[in-house]
């Protein structure tokens, strides 16, 4: 299911902009803490989110019961809060009104749980990640980008618990982050049940992160690399990488070839 980042923010009442050449995105609906107190958590059935489930059911009917679906775009509660709340005031509120920010994030999390509980009950735990499109036998995937703009301490105050709650509820988690987040890497190591980490960074940052997280989780590099051998003890690095092939037979041959080297095909 390909969506923009808007789906949960829209459920709370944000207007959505539809650009001609890109995915839709939500426009902020509040710009002060006074406006926040008017927000109520919507009922799932009163939003457009059930339409995504209906669309996914139609896709499954056409593709067959064994077809794996990708999750709709899934941002962390704090990232969605930063869409709902005008961003400059949102970041000021982290200091001035932290309880309001945490309350909004909790409302968002509860709506996400309702949606994904229904999604997984219908389509099973096995899925394709929302971004990038890697295979997940279980768990959930989520994007975490706002952490690039906050300190390590603020991450632990506002972000950490929610990520762990997602992982604990769904049996593990895969995290995408395209922010400059090196100052959060030690925090990322603390994510419970972290299965795979996708950091979209430059080549040098990618090599560094492969080393930092080698004993923590699998990694899906954000840029193509051919020099894993430069890493100390490269055999300890677990990397997920796509190999594109033209036919089913070619895929089987490639899987057999890489299996000889200990690579597990998915």
What percent of the chain is predicted at pLDDT more than 90? 77
Q: How far apart are CA 260 and CA 233, in angstroms?
A: 19
> Residues 125-149: what's their mean pLDDT?
95
Burial (CB count within 10 angstroms: exposed 0-12, middle 13-18, buried 19+), residue 179: middle
Task: Judge contact between 221 and 239, C-beta under 8 A.
Answer: yes
Q: pLDDT-derived band of residue 59, with 50, 70 and 90 as boundaries?
A: very high
Q: Is 251 helix (H, G, I), strand (E, B) or coil?
A: helix
pLDDT at 256: 82
Residue 91 has pLDDT above 90, yes or no: yes
Q: pLDDT-derived band of residue 225, with 50, 70 and 90 as boundaries?
A: low
Specify the higher pLDDT residue, 228 or 27. Answer: 27
Task: Judge contact between 107 and 39, C-beta under 8 A.
Answer: yes
Task: Judge contact between 156 and 179, C-beta under 8 A.
Answer: no
Q: How far apart are CA 200 and CA 252, in angstroms?
A: 29
Instruction: DSSP for 71-98, please give it.
Output: PPP-B-HHHHHHHHB-HHHHHHHHHH-H
Q: Is 49 helix (H, G, I), strand (E, B) or coil?
A: helix
Residue 45 has pLDDT above 90, yes or no: yes
Q: Which residue is associated with the tokens 């005031």?
A: 89
Q: At a CB cut-off of 8 Å and minimum separation 6, what does 153 contact? A: none
Give the 3-state secondary structure of 150-168: CCHHHHHHHCHHHHHHHHH
Specify the higher pLDDT residue, 258 or 217. Answer: 217
Q: At a CB cut-off of 8 Å and minimum separation 6, what does 175 contact? A: 141, 142, 143, 144, 163, 188, 191, 194, 196, 197, 198
Largest CA distance in the chain: 62
Residue 228 has pLDDT above 70, yes or no: no
pTM, two decimals, is: 0.92
Residue 165 has pLDDT above 70, yes or no: yes
Round the average pLDDT of the chain to a whole number and report it: 92
Which range of 17-26, 106-115, 197-206, 248-257 scores highest in mean pLDDT? It is 106-115
Beta bridge partners of 218: 196
Specify the higher pLDDT residue, 139 or 233. Answer: 139
Question: So where are the chain's domains?
Answer: 7-259
pLDDT at 263: 62
CATH for 7-259, options being 3.20.20.210, 3.10.28.10, 1.10.286.10, 3.40.50.300: 3.20.20.210
Per-residue pLDDT of 194-216, as tens digits, reads 999 999 988 889 889 999 999 99
Centroid of chain to Cα 240: 16
């Amino acid at each position: 299911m390909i969506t923009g980042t808007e789906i949960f923010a829209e459920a709370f009442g944000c207007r959505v902009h539809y650009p001609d050449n890109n995915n839709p995105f939500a426009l902020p609906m509040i710009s002060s803490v006074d406006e926040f107190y008017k927000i109520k958590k919507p009922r799932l059935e009163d939003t457009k989110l059930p339409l995504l489930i209906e669309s996914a059911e139609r896709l499954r009917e056409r593709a067959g019961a064994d077809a794996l679906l990708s999750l709709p775009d899934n941002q962390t509660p704090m990232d969605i809060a930063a869409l709902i709340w005008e961003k400059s005031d949102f970041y000021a509120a982290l200091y001035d009104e932290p309880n309001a920010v945490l309350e909004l994030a909790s409302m968002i999390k509860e709506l996400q749980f309702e949606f994904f509980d229904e999604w997984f009950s219908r389509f099973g735990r096995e899925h394709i990640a929302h971004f990038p499109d890697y295979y997940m036998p279980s768990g959930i995937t989520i994007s975490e980008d706002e952490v690039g703009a906050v300190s390590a301490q603020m991450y632990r105050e506002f972000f950490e618990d929610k990520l762990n709650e997602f992982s604990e509820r769904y049996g593990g988690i895969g995290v995408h982050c395209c922010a400059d987040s090196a100052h959060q890497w030690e925090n990322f190591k603390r994510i419970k049940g972290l299965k795979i980490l996708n950091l979209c960074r430059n080549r040098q940052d990618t090599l560094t992160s492969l080393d930092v997280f080698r004993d923590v989780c699998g990694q899906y590099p954000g840029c193509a690399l051919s020099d894993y051998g430069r890493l100390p003890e490269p055999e300890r690095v677990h990397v997920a990488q796509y190999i594109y092939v033209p036919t089913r037979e070619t895929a089987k041959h490639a899987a057999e070839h890489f299996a000889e080297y200990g690579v597990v095909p998915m």
